[in-house]
Amino acid sequence: MKKVSSYIMEHFWGYLVAVLCLIIGVALDMLSPQLTKLMIDDVITGGRLEILNYLLLGFLIVGLGKCVFMYVKEYLFDVMSSKICARMRRNLFRHLQGLSADFYDRNNTGELMARVKEDVDHIWDGLSYVGMLLIEVTVHTALVLTCMFRLSPKLALIPTGAMLFCGILAIFLERRLDKVYEEISEENARLNTVAEENLAGVRTVRAFAREKFEIRKFLSHNKRYYELNMKQSRVFVKYHPLFTLVTKLLPLIVLLVGGVMVMQGETVGGVPFTLGSLGAFVEYSNNIVWPMEMLGWLTNSFSSAVASNRKLKKIYAETPTIRETEAPKLLPCVKGEISFEQVSFRRDNTEILRDISFHVSPGATLGIMGATGSGKTSMVQLLQRLYDCRSGRILLDGTDIRRLSLGQLRENISVVTQDVFLFSDTISDNVRLGKQAVTDFELVKTASQAAQASEFIEKLESGYDTVIGERGVGLSGGQKQRISIARALAKRNPILVMDDSTSALDMETEAAIQQTLNELPDTTKIIIAHRISAVCHADEILFLENGRIAERGTHKELLAQKGLYYETYQLQMGGAIYAD
């Protein structure tokens, strides 16, 4: 993970200018008590009216200067912090996209969303106004203290002590709040997860009339979030008044001690400590009050940013389990020959696949059948290297896929997944996914025609530019499947995998799509299905049972075996009896 400080260093010059503006602004601010002192000592008490106009002009210049420099400072901080955080967000996003499927099996979308949004936002706050004010507070305090030392080193010891006290207090407070904020960030992610699930599953919630149950579930997290925020409040309330107390006591004590000094006629560097000097000193101590009060609030926001940064670190600590070899082999052209050699696969201590071997020549068709949960989809995921197999190896055109570049491997396999996932985007952009730049509209249309989708798409008001809902909401199951098939066909890849992807289609449409597939002689096809009709034309059909190949052969051979395949055939054709 790139450190926050290195992000800041990238904008070194910007920050330098901003800090310079800040110093000038604060210095101008410091000038006004000096002007006040001159005004009282020289003009009012001393009667030197000739310098009055200069002093008045001075006040105006101070106001104008602050107005310009402080604006530049604030704007620069906003611009740079926004740049840094946009970068941080992108890097985090890229890191997340690089993580393997097993990471997504373990983590909830709602939680990861909270990391990308809320946690980066907290760091953003930390870098923009919190960081800016922290620097401002420091510069301001340093300058005020210097001025105070010049007026009276003895008297300046009082505010110095007060500042030290506040600084230590802030460190204590930060440590205490840090932990609470980590919990709050955690609960915020949980709240996000609960709400996300509820929204995504709204149809199920309504179907079971479980609204009250869902509301109660959310309430318990909402309450917990409240309690954690109150915990933060208790810590903060315990410490913050101490800051306030110091700020209130400071001017009074300065007044007491300073007053005594004036009365006793003490001198500072040979010059008597005048009433005017005390006035200026009191004004300075009023000036140092707000940075101290501010320190409490800043510490609060700072802790929140630190806690969020730690959450991000945890995600950065995750590494992809599927990685390319250092010098991946690039195939000059992928022909589409696939071999599984004694492949076994386990997940969470459960055996999924065992000793799977088969060979598909370029352009041939492999059919896969098997009971629910027998490992059909896992075979596809292994082929794409979404997971790696435990033992055995998978070859593409004779090369172990672990030696190939991940990009080349995946770019050459089009998969129509069982769980259709479409983006809330136009139909045409959905079809082009993965090859946006090189897929022209003609190809989108051809692919949609081949997937039997063009008819219904063209009937839509905006045709291919129709925006569909998230996950394809608003379309029927069959329509979603057809777009997803079009998406795969538009890639014109040497390997096409159809994972139970015609289940929601009527037989006629399915047959038409089958016809299309037959017209792709150069494409290696893997077809997973429950229907005999979908696989019966395949060159070889595998029938899986509990992660092993139970039967294999062509349609005819399998029927002759009178085993599982034959049984399924009988069941599916059972309905046909009426036709006799």
Partner 1 sequence: MPINSFKEDERTVEQGKVKTLLRLFSYLLAYKKEILLVLCIMLFCVGVSLMNPLFVETAIDSHIGTGDFPGLVRLILFALGLNVGMVLFTKLRMHIMNRVCNSILMTIRQELYTHIQTLDFHFFDSRPTGKILSRIIGDVNSLKDVLGNCVTTLIPDFITISAVILIMLAKSPALTAASLCTLPLLGAGVWYIQTKSHSRWQLFRKKASNMNAFVHEDLSGMRIIQSFHAEKETDDTFYQLTEEHRKAFVSACRINDAIGSVIDFCWGFSTAALYFTGIVILGTDKVSVGTLLAFGSYIGMFWHPIMNLSDFYKQLITNLAAAERVFEVLDTPSEITDEHATGELSSIKGEVIFDRVSFAYSDAPDIMVLEDVSFRIKPGETIALVGPTGAGKTTIVNLISRFYNATRGHVRIDGQDVQEVTLNSLRSQMGIMTQDNFLFTGTVMENIRYGRLDATDEECIAAARAVNAHDFIMKLEKGYDTELSERGGGLSVGQKQLLAFARTFVSMPGILILDEATSSIDTKTEVLVQNGIEALLAGRTSFVIAHRLSTIQKADRIFVIDNKGILEEGSARELMKKKGAYYKLYMAQFTQATPEAAQ
Instruction: Check residue 370 for interaction with partner 1 (CB under 8 A).
Output: yes
**Chain residues 337-366 in contact with partner 1, contact rule CB under 8 A:** 347-350
| Binds partner 1 (CB under 8 A): choice among 48, 199, 560, 562 | 199
How would you classify the pairing of strands 391-396 and 267-268? Answer: unpaired
Strand partners, 393: 341
Instruction: Check residue 197 for interaction with partner 1 (CB under 8 A).
Output: yes
Which one of the spans 157-165, 187-195, 306-314, 392-400 is the region binding partner 1 (CB under 8 A)? 187-195
| Binds partner 1 (CB under 8 A): choice among 83, 323, 390, 548 | 83
Instruction: Check residue 213 for interaction with partner 1 (CB under 8 A).
Output: yes
Instruction: Check residue 525 for interaction with partner 1 (CB under 8 A).
Output: no
Closest distance of CB 269 from partner 1, Å: 21
Smaller CB distance to partner 1: residue 4 or 379? 379
Closest distance of CB 51 from partner 1, Å: 11
User: 302-312 burial, b for 16+ CB within 10 Å, e for fewer?
Assistant: bbbbbbbbebb
Smaller CB distance to partner 1: residue 168 or 252? 252
Smaller CB distance to partner 1: residue 17 or 195? 195
Q: Sheet of 365-370: strands edge to edge?
A: 413-416, 495-499, 524-528, 365-370, 540-545, 548-553
- Tell the residue number behind the tokens 């890639």, with chain if given: 491
Size of the site for partner 1 (CB under 8 A): 186
Q: Sheet of 399-400: strands edge to edge?
A: 350-360, 338-347, 391-396, 399-400
Instruction: Check residue 259 for interaction with partner 1 (CB under 8 A).
Output: yes
Selection from 549, 531, 173, 487 nearest residue 359 by Cα: 549
Question: Would you state the structure tokens that stand for residue 352, as one six-digit string?
Answer: 């999924």
Instruction: Check residue 248 for interaction with partner 1 (CB under 8 A).
Output: yes
- State which H helix or E strand residue 503 sits in: none
Which one of the spans 5-13, 144-152, 274-282, 327-335 is the region binding partner 1 (CB under 8 A)? 274-282
Task: Give the E-state strand segments of 176-288 in sequence order.
Answer: 267-268, 271-272
Question: Would you state the structure tokens that stand for residue 121, as one six-digit string?
Answer: 């936002």
- For residues 407 and 429, what is the distance between their CA atoms, to the nearest angstrom? 20
Question: Would you state the structure tokens that stand for residue 54, as one six-digit string?
Answer: 């200069």
Interface mask toward partner 1 for 387-406; x: CB under 8 A: -------------------x
Amino acid at 560: A
Instruction: Check residue 206 for interaction with partner 1 (CB under 8 A).
Output: yes
| Binds partner 1 (CB under 8 A): choice among 205, 268, 520, 550 | 205
Which one of the spans 328-336, 358-366, 503-511, 519-527 is the region binding partner 1 (CB under 8 A)? 503-511
Smaller CB distance to partner 1: residue 152 or 479? 479
Distances, alpha carbon 162 to alpha carbons 26, 149, 208, 258, 345, in Å: 20, 14, 63, 16, 66
| Binds partner 1 (CB under 8 A): choice among 263, 271, 327, 333 | 263
